[in-house]
Structure 1
């Protein structure tokens, strides 16, 4: 009997270790874009703040290596104080909500290369900005959306693999919460030291969307934010699962990784097949840019016709779209929970329905 017990204990010790426990409070994070106040008419007051733990206001800009407002009129110039004043009122109604000012973005990341030359000065400028008397107390921290450190996005950076970590380290202790958005592309993740970045950040938000559908639009059609690979996927590594695995392999703790979810779809036109993998003649028309449309519009105009790789797709009138639905978002949130991730974030809230269908699906699993 003792021998049997010893063997069982030995086998238990050799078995694969279970995943680490999930953080005590999983984070439900949403980006509010300053431009939501314009054509989309999605105001700060429209945010379903009770479903969020954190709200990220996008975007401030990095001007000559320093933090600066991104859109002065929308931020604080319009009547009733602008978006930032509205954020303050939203926080008063939801005192547990944390609000961060996000800097950079796809078209606003060029200034980070200059900031990386003097991280201390950059951090001091960010501290001074969020403590400006006009909105003191609104912001609980800074989010860095650098696309991409030591790699190429709209512009290319050659600051070195430690540049992002240096910026986050300089911010630490000066601005409260410190977070960063990081690439979904595994190749770009290997260009910078994201393990070091994670040591100085409260979390890293993995941009696990836009894997496909951002090119000229000739196809093959493919899900833009697959959770897992599927038969016929153009690149088996272009999945959220691969992104998370890469971050973990690089040394980022699971509890500091947030899974990214897009509240929009990517689409093609001139498509004859209802399933993924078909050719197309171009990008499908979108209200604000070709090939992209909000979930609120697609859910009624081109409703889902199938699911693949943990996300949905839709065929209608010669168009083919891929986007997440409440059902696929719940699948992704279960993945985040079962893999002990820190939670998830949405890019971005104005694409949701008026009653926050997608955000509520996120929150229903994580909170």
Structure 2
């Protein structure tokens, strides 16, 4: 097995030979004294792609606080993954802005960022902080700083996070970004007018300000200061919980040919702590069976069965329920919850909420049916969405969800698990504000915020965007549609972080008719999928359309005219470590059949949580 460091060293050595032989690696002229300059080179070039590096040098007599490099690339050439800088793209123009930690460059000092790209072309029209990269022509004559940001305010907080928003600055040329300060230290650089500062300490006072800057490096005066004290929460975040919960979809036994036995043979069972069996139906205000054949009637052969023993015609329980019983016997640590609702079967919750006690009674009687009472350890509710719109619109009122969960807890008692999958819409006025999730939290063992499907080809023309972003990013189509904002909003409402699980999709969302490699491109519709347009399992995408970059902690891929986003073992590892640092209770995923036969994704989840 080749080590990555060795492969990279060989590539760079080869690039040096190419440069000497044919001048394939280009560079801007040497720095001129008295200006901020930049030198950009291809450190490796293999014809159809390259790696590059830009070095910014401060030849002025004073330190600079922030830099922005702008350059054009010809059609057919693009930059993808970027490190040590933030990249934004408008047409063929690329703007690279310092990361939070490398914006300050002392007089005479340098800093660098790197990137990978595709195509044969290279940068033209390079400027840094508004002046030519080679130091000629001065700084472009832009010496006017932006106006100071105004109206800085806190829009939410938790024990470890503070959400901020402000009114945009103006500039004679244009504002390129905002620097967020905690006291005198810069903690973030963003392009929008809101952000969430993470990694804070509980019950601690912080004072924040924001400064705007333009492409020439002019920095505004500070905004008004806002002081915020974080909530109580037991001190520093983490370590988080270690729950790993997977959904098993009953209909997977048909086209997908995925059975309970596959949980065992893939190695997933030893990594799971809980299985949510999806779905039971909700009809006439009651919990009902969703698919009796799959649930408890199907006869399994010895080859299909978890333990290699075939079902008999006269045994009292068959189907998935019996296979789950066998799986639990083999893996006693696994708990199984019966999940009700889901996207298609949530329409009955409105009627159920009119008499929550009767609903809870019906659910208890079904989950604890003597034929399979030993299979289930509790109930999971997947109402999409209380007092809001999903497949249909619900108007049961903001208190309905709390009342329903309270009735379930009263009926199921403390000896059974009661959980709920909930919306992840943290936008202003969004679905998280439509129901009392904080009030209902006292009745649940944990929530499963569905931190996936934020974006997809239901917006047929795009813009392309990762369906499960961990954080916000420049150009995100909708503010509040990312995991960090979802968790920050829920904890700011009063939901304990330990009762929240991060959600992972074992699938990708995709568009077709896309020409742009990076997120934000236009499209003509949904990409083809095995079972449904616009969606495909990870096990298929990993080889059919391999990842070409990452954005906001999620992988994306451009193959032909298709653009997909999905999580890989690497991005899942990053998300699990983030969840642990935030003190979350663990992670869950939809759903088991999307993983590889060897369980690549669930292994990354288990290892990432520790």
Question: 5 Å matches for 1:224-239?
Answer: 224-239=467-482
Aligned counterpart, 1:100:
337
The alpha-carbon deviation at position 85 of structure 1 amounts to 0.8
Aligned counterpart, 1:8:
none
Aligned counterpart, 1:51:
271
Task: Give CA-to-partner distance per residue, 1:270-324, whole Å, 9 cap, x none.
Answer: 1111111111111100011110000010001001000110000001011000000
The alpha-carbon deviation at position 233 of structure 1 amounts to 1.5
The alpha-carbon deviation at position 236 of structure 1 amounts to 3.2
Distance 1:189 1:71 in 2: 31
Aligned counterpart, 2:421:
181
Residue among 371, 383, 386 paired with 1:146 = 383
Task: Give CA-to-partner distance per residue, 1:151-208, whole Å, 9 cap, x none.
Answer: 0000111111111111111111433100000101121000000001111000010101
Distance 2:552 2:515 in 1: 21
SS in 2 for 1:51: coil
Q: TM-score, with normalisation over the residues of structure 2?
A: 0.57
Higher strand share: 2
Question: 5 Å matches for 1:348-367?
Answer: 348-367=591-610
Q: Which runs of 4+ in 1 moved over 4 A?
A: 12-17, 20-23
Aligned counterpart, 2:460:
217
Task: Give CA-to-partner distance per residue, 1:17-58, whole Å, 9 cap, x none.
Answer: 6435545x4211110000111111111111121111110000
Distance 1:312 1:365 in 2: 17
Distance 1:214 1:159 in 2: 30
Distance 1:254 1:210 in 2: 22
**Residue 250 of structure 2 is aligned to residue 34 of structure 1:** yes
Distance 2:588 2:398 in 1: 25
Asked if the contact 1:32–1:349 (Cα under 8 Å) also holds between the matched residues in 2, the reply is yes
Higher helix share: 1
Asked if the contact 1:55–1:97 (Cα under 8 Å) also holds between the matched residues in 2, the reply is yes
In terms of mean alpha carbon deviation, does 12-21 or 145-154 score higher? 12-21
Cα distance, 1:230–1:20 mapped onto 2, change above 3 Å: closer
Quote the RMSD (CA, aligned, Å): 1.5
The alpha-carbon deviation at position 71 of structure 1 amounts to 0.7
Distance 2:549 2:436 in 1: 38
Aligned counterpart, 1:6:
none
Q: TM-score, with normalisation over the residues of structure 1?
A: 0.94
Distance 2:449 2:568 in 1: 19
Q: Whose relative contact order is higher, 1 or 2, with alpha carbons under 8 Å and at least 6 apart? A: 1
Cα distance, 1:313–1:13 mapped onto 2, change above 3 Å: closer
Asked if the contact 2:356–2:404 (Cα under 8 Å) also holds between the matched residues in 1, the reply is yes
SS in 2 for 1:49: coil
Distance 1:226 1:331 in 2: 12
Cα distance, 1:325–1:157 mapped onto 2, change above 3 Å: same
Which structure is larger by alpha-carbon Rg, 1 or 2?
Answer: 2
The alignment of Structure 1 onto Structure 2 pairs a total of residues equal to: 355
Residue among 236, 250, 267 paired with 1:19 = 236
Aligned counterpart, 2:13:
none
Distance 2:460 2:505 in 1: 19
Aligned counterpart, 2:361:
124
Unmatched segments (≥5 aa) in structure 1:
1-11
